[in-house]
Each structure stands twice: as C-alpha cells, then as structure tokens.
C-alpha cells in the first residue's frame, strides 16, 4: 500500500445522507491525539507497534487530505531514531530491528518523499536498508525471514518486495525465487496461506497477490477462482470477513478489497453496502474506526477503513494504490 498521489486537497464535506457521512475532521483529530495519550497504560503496552501505527495514521491523514496534520520533520526524526546500524528499523527507539518495522519505516519515508533526507543524514542509508532486507531472503526457498531469529511468513516476503520496490532496489533480491515460493503457497480455492500447506487467509491473499503484482507476475493468479473466494467474504450486513464462516471486520475492507482491486474485480461485491458498513464502524464523536459497529476504535482499523473507502471511491478521499 502506498499513495498514488502527493499531498492532498482540503476535504470539503459533500452533502451525503446522514448515515453515509464520513466524519473526516474527527478522524484527523483522533489521529493527531494518538501521541498525546502517554498517561494511558495502553500507550506503553503498544510501543511495539509505534512505527506501524505512525505509518497507519499518516496514510489515513494523507487520504483524508490532511497530509500536514503531523509535523514532517518530527516524523522523520522519529523514524530515523528507530533505524539500527544494520539497516533495519525497530518499532520504537531501543526495540530490535525487524522486517515489519523496516517496511513501515521505508513506507513512511516514501510517503514523505524523504529518501534524500535519509541520504543526507545517513550517507548510503538507502543501500544499507536494502541490504538488511535482502539478507533476510532464504536463498533456498526464496521466502523471507522477519529478522535474525528466522521466523518465515509470506507477510515478510510481501514487505520485502514492497519496501525494496519503493526504494528502487528490487534487484538486490531473487524475485523469481520469491515468486516460486508464493506459487508453492497456493491452495485449491486459488488463495494463499502463510507458508506452503497453510490455509487461505485474506491477509495472506493480499500479501501474495500484491507481491506478485510488484513482481509483474499477476498472470500466475487464478483470477476467477480467487475472485470468487474473495467475493464470498462479503456478508449480508455488507462487511467482509477474512475466511469462510468467520465474523466481519473492518480491516478486511483493506485485505480483501485491495486484492479484488488488483484483480480488477471490485464490482464482484456490493460496494455501496460495504461503504455503509465501514461508516457504521466510525466513532462520530471522538473519531476513529473500530472492527465492528459500536466497538473501541484504534488506528489500525482506522487506516484500513479509510483505505477501503478510498478504493470504494468515497468522495473527497485521495486515491490509494491497492498494492
């Protein structure tokens, strides 16, 4: 996921029926407030998600047309304070380097168009980050580990290709081998799991389809079969679930919808009903989105609600790249 276009225009509220209204200003303020909640234990217990959270918040702000709602230089300072000498990023200063945060770090720098600043402050920084990621590829199987401790997952494979392509460094890894690995994860329903043999899961479908898109190998996807499976994620209330016979959740508005968009099959589900479901999950007073209507909001569900709405062409939102 990255932004198609640069800094946005102001999001003027159009006349929408009350139940279809997006409380954009409330969401902007909610995201701005996230770093002021240091008197809540939850803030400290979620420090391991800080850099991801910043990426999610920033992306939501860009799509809402408020790219300047957080200070650019503060963000760059924070991101670089998470960078280790080995080229990997941790979740926050003092946290170990890991693929998940390295990808968020690169995505934030790409969003802010700040690779030049990275080079200025850390000469050779881009190459260093690229090397950290490339070294995590398993030369035998083509997949990627999350860090030096070796856990492997198609999430890391996608993250690696995404970050490297944003930095223009895809040639540091064996893309063909990575593609081969993705192919070994395909299941009878046309979908993908975390590793060969694992059950199809919408999150993993997103990582594998997007990785194939980056590699230019969408021809390998069984479009109709997987499209059908993805379209069956929509439930009667309009929301999407992640696997058969599971509950709906706003975050799948990203994982499922972006995969459908990449396969050019967005019209295989009812966009209007999904839009209405997503909007029911917002907190109209304090801002933010929850997994389901009436639940506690968080920045994770907020970004995937907003990116989902963006794919659904909700008015006055910037356009998001499904990959």
Which residue ranges make up the site for another protein (CB under 8 A)? 39-42, 44-49, 53, 90-91, 94-96, 98, 147, 149-151, 153, 187-189, 193-195, 197-201, 227-229, 231-232, 234, 236, 238, 243-246, 249, 251, 265, 267-270, 273, 283, 286, 290-292, 294-301
Closer to another protein by CB, 134 or 230: give it. Answer: 230
Closer to another protein by CB, 40 or 68: give it. Answer: 40
The Cα 52–Cα 75 span in angstroms is 12
Q: Answer positive or negative: Cα dihedral of 131, 84, 113, 303.
A: positive
Closer to another protein by CB, 175 or 185: give it. Answer: 185
Closer to another protein by CB, 239 or 322: give it. Answer: 239
Closer to another protein by CB, 65 or 238: give it. Answer: 238
Q: How far is the CB of 115 from another protein (least distance, A)?
A: 27
Q: How far is the CB of 82 from another protein (least distance, A)?
A: 12
Q: How far is the CB of 290 from another protein (least distance, A)?
A: 7
Nearest C-alpha neighbor of 317 from the set 2, 1, 5: 5
Q: How far is the CB of 22 from another protein (least distance, A)?
A: 18
Cα angle: 169, vertex 260, 165; to 5 degrees: 5
Question: Residue 238: left if φ>0, alpha if ψ -120 to 50, beta else—which one?
Answer: left
Closer to another protein by CB, 46 or 262: give it. Answer: 46
Q: How far is the CB of 159 from another protein (least distance, A)?
A: 14
Residue 243 parent element (H or E): none
Count CB-CB contacts under 10 A for residue 295. 14
Q: What are phi and psi of 8, to 5 degrees?
A: -90, 175
Q: How far is the CB of 88 from another protein (least distance, A)?
A: 12
Q: Answer positive or negative: Cα dihedral of 139, 144, 149, 151.
A: negative
The Cα 200–Cα 260 span in angstroms is 15
β-bridge mates for residue 3, sequence order: 320
Closer to another protein by CB, 53 or 130: give it. Answer: 53
The residues, ordered by sequence, that sit 6+ positions from 196 with a Cβ below 8 Å of its Cβ are 184, 185
Q: How far is the CB of 252 from another protein (least distance, A)?
A: 12
């Amino acid at each position: 996921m990255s932004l198609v276009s640069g800094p946005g225009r102001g999001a003027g509220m159009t006349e929408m029926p009350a139940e279809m209204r997006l409380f954009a200003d409330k969401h902007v303020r909610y995201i701005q407030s996230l770093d002021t909640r240091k008197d809540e234990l939850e803030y400290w217990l979620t420090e391991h998600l800080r850099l991801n959270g910043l990426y999610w918040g920033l992306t939501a702000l860009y799509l809402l047309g408020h790219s300047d709602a957080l200070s650019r230089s503060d963000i760059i300072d924070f991101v670089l304070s998470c960078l280790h000498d080995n080229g990997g990023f941790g979740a926050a200063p003092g946290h170990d380097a890991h693929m998940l945060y390295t990808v968020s770090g690169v995505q934030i720098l790409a969003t802010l168009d700040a690779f030049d600043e990275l080079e200025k402050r850390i000469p050779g920084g881009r190459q260093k980050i690229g090397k950290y990621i490339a070294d995590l590829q398993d030369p035998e199987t083509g997949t990627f580990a999350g860090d030096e401790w070796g856990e492997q997952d198609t999430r890391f494979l996608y993250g690696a290709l995404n970050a490297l392509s944003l930095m223009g460094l895809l040639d540091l890894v064996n893309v063909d081998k990575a593609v081969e690995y993705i192919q070994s994860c395909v299941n009878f329903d046309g979908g993908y799991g975390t590793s060969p043999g694992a059950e199809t899961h919408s999150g993993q479908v997103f990582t594998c389809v997007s990785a194939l898109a980056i590699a230019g190998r969408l021809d390998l996807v069984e479009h109709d079969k997987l499209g059908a499976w993805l379209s069956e994620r929509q439930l009667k209330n309009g929301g999407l679930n992640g696997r058969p016979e599971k509950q709906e959740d706003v975050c799948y508005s990203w994982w499922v919808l972006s995969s459908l968009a990449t396969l050019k099959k967005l019209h295989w589900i009812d966009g209007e009903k999904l839009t209405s479901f997503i909007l029911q999950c917002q907190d109209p007073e304090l801002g933010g989105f929850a997994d389901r209507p009436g639940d506690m909001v968080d920045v994770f569900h907020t970004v995937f609600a907003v990116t989902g709405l963006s794919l659904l062409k909700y008015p006055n939102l910037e356009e998001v790249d499904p990959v």
